[in-house]
Amino acid sequence: MTFLNIPQNSFYAMLAVLGLLVIASCTRLFLSAKNPNKDYTELRQRIQSWWWIIALLFLVLAANRITAIVFLSFLSFLALKEFLSIVPTRLTDRRVIFWAYLSIPVQYYWVSMGWYGMFIIFIPVYVFLFLPMRMVLIGDTAGFIRSAGVLHWAVMLMVFSISHIAYLLTLPVKNVDAGNVGLVLFLLFMTQFNDVCQYIWGKMLGKHKIIPKVSPNKTWEGFIGGLLTITLCAGFVAPLLTPLAFEYGLGAGVIIGLAGFFGDVVLSSVKRDLQIKDSGSLIPGHGGILDRLDSVIYTAPLFFHFLYYATY
């Protein structure tokens, strides 16, 4: 059964997410009425931004596969652009950066074709080797190693990692009640839910810092509590939205919980190194696009390959 071209279980998952947004909005209104002297502007902006993000995502997923792939390629473009705008680059790198951007439509073209072999090696092999070659032809050796490292890392994280979300849409359907949309919903929802769970557990029980120099608010209690919560939740949700059985769903939950944490702190390290709070201001209440994609940059490829190994 499908609703608006969305398989049954995925449609119900979307309704559940919208229900959570309604609860969040009502809670914010209640808090504002109860504490009129307290400023809830940031909370209001965050919730409003989530409404726009979720609405856009659901519309894209409900359209068709190509539309969703194009949307995700644009997301890679925004992420790469934002990353390169905050990380210092050499003036001579501008001609090389053009080729980094050009890797986006090529990578997503392989995705749209469902050509797994080229999708998996194009950036780690061909782009990885090509970018330094192009830098050599320019002839500027000052800062060469640092520049090559920045460009390689940028393309790997912002293009290669994010493109794994798009490739989920091209995999053979093995759960007809959820379709490929279910795979994307599972990955994105579990990743964001993991962030929320670690935050809540940290606020309630957090006492012991994990890496205070990188992220002072991260605690062992928040990390372990969030990891256990997301693992158990993934075990029950995975059979509904993915081809994974309960025990494999638990494995996916562990991977998402661990990877989400490290994605968050790795990007936090980047921002601390650059001495900035947010990567941008594109999303009111959240910061930049990277402030919302930091966890999924790590969870997307790791979940994809776990799923691919377990079921394909």
CA distances from 84 to 4, 102, 104, 123 (A): 38, 14, 14, 17
Q: Determine the Cα–Cα distance for residues 7 and 61; give it in Å rounded to an integer.
A: 11
CA distances from 17 to 10, 13, 259 (A): 11, 6, 22
Check residue 262 and give its pLDDT.
95
Q: How many C-beta atoms lie closer than 10 Å to residue 115's C-beta?
A: 14
Task: Answer for the pair 159, 104: CB distance below 8 angstroms, yes or no.
Answer: yes
What is the value of pTM for the model shown?
Answer: 0.94
Check residue 36 and give its pLDDT.
84
Check residue 1 and give its pLDDT.
59
Q: Determine the Cα–Cα distance for residues 157 and 112; give it in Å rounded to an integer.
A: 19
Tokens of 122: 């194009």
Residues with Cβ within 8 Å of residue 162, at least 6 apart in sequence: 72, 75, 76, 79, 293, 296, 297, 300
Give the residue carrying structure tokens 């790590």: 298
Low-confidence ranges of the chain (pLDDT < 50): none
Q: Determine the Cα–Cα distance for residues 312 and 161; give it in Å rounded to an integer.
A: 19
Q: Determine the Cα–Cα distance for residues 262 and 257; give it in Å rounded to an integer.
A: 9
| CA distance between the termini of the chain | 24
